[in-house]
Amino acid sequence: GENVEQHPSTLSVQEGDSAVIKCTYSDSASNYFPWYKQELGKGPQLIIDIRSNVGEKKDQRIAVTLNKTAKHFSLHITETQPEDSAVYFCAAKGSGNTPLVFGKGTRLSVIA
Amino acid sequence: EPEVTQTPSHQVTQMGQEVILRCVPISNHLYFYWYRQILGQKVEFLVSFYNNEISEKSEIFDDQFSVERPDGSNFTLKIRSTKLEDSAMYFCASRELLNTGELFFGEGSRLTVL
């Protein structure tokens, strides 16, 4: 089955700096790659996703890149703010009803 | 904005007891899921449910677990005889479309087994 690796496990950045989180996946059939933000005591919330027919997607301060050949994808947050502090999970999914498989998460701390 | 709701938010139970966690998925969604997150670890898939039957389950979802959609709105996860290692946050999720829809998560039910 699919296996998703995520790095780093923790990341601290100064407010205003950029943050990058990287993930790799194992199943070349995976074609959907969402990123979730989880705040303390809450469920994961989708922040951005990308499909395998696209190499990059941007939404304001958040961007995601996908390299299908290397089977890795990354989340980029620019101009970080304290409210960006949370745990971020990458995930991968194949077609049909294959389950979404999550990475282990990255705890991002933005220091004011 | 429509949301997935879960109850209870926190349940404490004795080892060996039965537990039922309840979820109300978003009303027009057709695909339902349970995920588990042990404290500080990643979110793990348990089971998916569509058209009133399990469509896929992980190795975690053994005979002690069952799911049910008893009426048109609720989706439940039952653990028959809880073990200490069942202590975790359990998330319900739902999806409208199979291949293109976002997976919406509830806020979770924290289960503590003593």
Please, what is the average pLDDT of chain B? 92
Give the gap in angstroms from C-alpha B75 to the nearest C-alpha of chain A: 17
Of A34, A42, A105, the CB nearest to B42: A105
* B45 lies within 8 A of chain A by CB: yes
With CA atoms as reference, report the closest residue to B43 among B114, B106, B99.
B106
A21 CB-near residues (< 8 Å, 6+ apart): A6, A7, A8, A11, A74, A75, A88, A90, A106, A108
Which residues of chain A does B55 touch, with a Cβ-Cβ cutoff of 8 Å?
97
Which residues of chain A does B31 touch, with a Cβ-Cβ cutoff of 8 Å?
97
Q: What's the pLDDT at B37?
A: 93
pLDDT bin (cut points 50, 70, 90) of residue B2 is confident
pLDDT bin (cut points 50, 70, 90) of residue B72 is confident
Rounded-to-integer distance, Cα A15 and Cα A77, Å: 11
For A40-78, the three-class secondary structure string (H helix, E strand, C coil) is CCCCCEEEEEEECCCCEEEECCEEEEEECCCCEEEEEEC
Residue A43 and residue B102: Cβ atoms within 8 Å? no
Residue B99 and residue A95: Cβ atoms within 8 Å? yes
Cis peptide, bond prior to residue B8, ω within 30 of zero: yes
Asked which of B12-16, B45-49, B95-99 is least confident by mean pLDDT, the reply is: B95-99
* B43 lies within 8 A of chain A by CB: yes
Strand partners, B5: B24
Rounded-to-integer distance, Cα A58 and Cα B72, Å: 38
Search chain B and give the residue with CA nearest A51. B100
* B5 lies within 8 A of chain A by CB: no
Give the gap in angstroms from C-alpha B17 to the nearest C-alpha of chain A: 25
Strand partners, B90: B36, B109
Residue A97 and residue B105: Cβ atoms within 8 Å? no
Q: What's the pLDDT at B96?
A: 86
Percent above pLDDT 90 for chain B? 77
